[in-house]
Structure 1
Amino acid sequence: MSEPIRVLHVFGRLDSGGAESRTMDIYRQIDRCKVQFDFAIHTEDKCFFTDEVKSLGGKIYSFPRFNGKNYFQYRKKWNEFFKKHPEYQIVHGHQTNTGFVYLKEAEVNNVPVRIAHSRNSNKENLIKKYICKLSKLYATNLFAVSKIAGISEFGKNAVNKGFVKILPNAINAKKYSFDTEKRREKRSEFGIKDELLIIHIGRFHPQKNHTFLLDIFNNILKNEPDAKLLLVGDGTLKSEIVKQISEHQINKSVIIAGTRTDVPELLQAADILLFPSLFEGLPGVVLESQAAGLPCIISDTITEEVKVTDLVEYVPLEHSAEVWATKVLGIDYKFKRRNTYEEITEKGYDIESVAKWYEDFYRMNIK
């Protein structure tokens, strides 16, 4: 039996962020006798998915974090890597802000398939936005999770001319199907009975707009004083968020759950997803929430492609926290949850078909 094709995926870390989680979903589903995933990451830390990757047969390589000043050292590291590992014929880059370095070194070392994959619809500053666009100069294939993410990363012209393959994030929808007993058990774990439980899943990062999220929730409490907010995730802004919770004097109403492995069950327990992000590519958590039959109140900056059911309602970010709170309070959160599996799979967001597409793509592009 022939050895599987080994695909090198490039990330910053292997934590439970959206891009990493969606890639792991594909990794679990793909036929690993035919295609095997390995990972190049920019840390030596043990990450959320480290053990699982190794258990699935994947390898993990550590690279120094790029800071601009170490450009030549970083470039040399990649050059040496490709010379040492000629077995990699496919590099799939999800970290596009350094793609102009590692994809170029892959080209220099005759790696035939070099993918730049846009996962987001905006960048924090103009410099990052510019260097991310450079990655397409050395890529043989351009992927994006949504049209807006493709335009942001590679330009409108590249998207409109069909140079960018739009590959929506996919989920294992069956795993999120609503289950009354799981809901009861998980709510009991957090000491929640009949009160409104609002959930937010995302790293503590400016993009996720936690400050505004807390303002909205503070307004919700004026009408629903027993409501609870469940924050799932971790990140550099955690201490600042904790401070803001104290300033609002809502410590008893907010649950900081950290990074979790039981997200499907948490979505069963919740009543509403509140997601006021400043920007997104195609957020998997909104797909997961719909798969769990959960109403979603999200910002209008997020692509309409994520609305695969009527459970999603968009609210403009320029609207006040009071307006957002009114939208949340207008939802009958005690309604009977329905199974949305058919709706999600019909729109092409099921993991089986997406994983099969990747498997075929990788195999067809290696001679």
Structure 2
Amino acid sequence: MRVVATDAWFHHRPSGWRRRGPITVLKVLNRMERSGIHPGAVNLLRRLDQDEFRLLFAVTSGAAGAFDGEIRALGGEVYHCRADWRFPWSFLRLLRQVRPDVVQAEVVQADVTILSGVVLALARLGGVRRRVAYLADAPDRHGDSLGGRVRRIVGRLLLDRFATHLVAVSEAVMRGLWRENWRLDSRCRVIYHGVELEPVGVAIAARRRAEELAEDDQELVTIVHVACPDSAKSRDRAVEILAALRGRSVNARLLFVGRQDAAETARLVALASRRGVADHVEFIGEVLEIPRLLVAASLLLVTSRHEGLTGIVLEACAVGTPVLCADLPGVDEIARLLPGVTILPLRISDAVWADTAEMLTAVPPTIDQRREAMRLLRRSPFTMEHWQRDITAVWS
């Protein structure tokens, strides 16, 4: 018997049909963790009107995530649907169970573009009319290797065939993962990530109180590096820059923030010991209140080889903390609209990076400058209000 894939396979909508109840959105992603686009997705869930949108998550790693409990407490749900040989059947069963109006496949790594295409193909088979490819990472980390080219070609063919909408977190990501002439495709839209401004205001107010009480060592330069364990984040480069900076008699320390991997941590500790800065490197793990961390920092250091939009840069801009960042295309778009971002190529020597860091941290921002930074971000497209409005318009 031949199965015919029609939009009515799971959803029979008779003439005169009208929606009753919220729009159900099933977001499919690799895992839920406190980095990348995931905290923003949970912030969006907090803001959504449950009478209008029901937000569900399907996790293809099969692993429990840091936000699972909070998502359920907010009225959402997390389904663990491992991407193995049984995935097509288990995902189709999930579609029958939750009957989503929208399936959104999150392309958080170029490696999983094919999986995202498969997800949208299965959604089409399952009768889901609105199928969104959400492009959230930089171009393929495999570059021009044969395997990388094959993955890009197959992934784009699948997305081209089965996506009804293509949303990217930046123009650079849209060009890199989709096409240079993306503006000619009516399905394509760039929607920037948004920053929640209320925690930013609270963090700046707390910083003002700390300064009034003289609680901080004004001579200490605190450099923050926020990332998950991944060779593309170049965490070892941050240690080298710290060593070069302390070689200039700058009283600096480096805080590594984010999920830790035992092997990577041991390697970074060994490197710091060889460079003579082991006493000035701290690993503080995942942090819930990122704005408070950033507003107390002297500098945000970003040494990644590739990123999508780099939300942590937006959060630093919101609190007025200087940013020293590798030349990432998505960050170029932020720097065009917001001040406080200095960009250097990774190929430039550690000495130049250290010189620039010393210059950026010589005069700490005042509270008034931090407040102005928050006002500038509020007037930019990088707010949660803009993100919520634009992404719900796609779902609707």
Provide the TM-score with structure 1 as the length reference. 0.89
**Secondary structure of the equivalent of 2:325?**
strand
**Once the 2 structures are TM-superposed, how far is the Cα of residue 75 of structure 1 from its aligned partner?**
2.0
**Secondary structure of the equivalent of 2:88?**
helix
Q: Cα deviations across residues 110-149 of structure 1 (Å, max 9, x unaligned)? A: 1101110111122222155445434343111000001110
Equivalent position of 1:115 in the other structure: 132
Unaligned residue ranges in structure 1 (runs of 5+):
none
Change (3 A) 1:15 1:166: same
Equivalent position of 1:88 in the other structure: 100
**Secondary structure of the equivalent of 2:329?**
coil
Within the candidate set 310, 314, 335, 2:343 is matched to: 314
Change (3 A) 1:83 1:181: closer
For residues 31 and 197 of structure 1, the distance between their equivalents in structure 2, rounded to whole angstroms, comes to 40
**Once the 2 structures are TM-superposed, how far is the Cα of residue 171 of structure 1 from its aligned partner?**
0.7
Within the candidate set 188, 200, 211, 1:164 is matched to: 188
Q: Which stretch shows the higher mean deviation, 304-313 or 105-114?
A: 304-313
Within the candidate set 122, 125, 139, 1:105 is matched to: 122
For residues 249 and 35 of structure 1, the distance between their equivalents in structure 2, rounded to whole angstroms, comes to 53
Contact 2:164-2:187 within 8 A present in 1 as well:
no
Q: CA RMSD in A?
A: 2.4
Equivalent position of 2:15 in the other structure: none
For residues 30 and 8 of structure 1, the distance between their equivalents in structure 2, rounded to whole angstroms, comes to 14
Within the candidate set 254, 269, 288, 2:281 is matched to: 254
Q: Which stretch shows the higher mean deviation, 320-329 or 353-362?
A: 353-362
Change (3 A) 1:193 1:50: farther
1:226 matched to 2:226: no
For residues 284 and 139 of structure 2, the distance between their equivalents in structure 1, rounded to whole angstroms, comes to 27
For residues 14 and 88 of structure 1, the distance between their equivalents in structure 2, rounded to whole angstroms, comes to 20
Change (3 A) 1:5 1:148: same
**Secondary structure of the equivalent of 2:181?**
helix
Q: Cα deviations across residues 224-252 of structure 1 (Å, max 9, x unaligned)? A: 45211111112443443333233333221
Contact 2:219-2:251 within 8 A present in 1 as well:
no
Change (3 A) 1:34 1:253: same
1:345 matched to 2:378: yes
Q: Cα deviations across residues 59-94 of structure 1 (Å, max 9, x unaligned)? A: 11101144xxx3xx2222222322343x21200111
Q: Cα deviations across residues 137-191 of structure 1 (Å, max 9, x unaligned)? A: 31110000011101111121334545420000111123223526447769x9x98
Change (3 A) 1:193 1:128: farther
Change (3 A) 1:249 1:140: same
1:270 matched to 2:270: no
Higher Rg of the two aligned structures: 2
**Secondary structure of the equivalent of 1:18?**
coil
Superposed, 1:125-144 pairs within 5 Å as: 125=142, 126=148, 128-133=151-156, 134-144=158-168
Equivalent position of 1:305 in the other structure: 333
Letter in structure 1 aligned against 2:349 = S
For residues 154 and 266 of structure 2, the distance between their equivalents in structure 1, rounded to whole angstroms, comes to 30
Identity among equivalent positions (%) equals 21
**Once the 2 structures are TM-superposed, how far is the Cα of residue 299 of structure 1 from its aligned partner?**
1.1
**Secondary structure of the equivalent of 1:326?**
helix
**Secondary structure of the equivalent of 2:355?**
helix
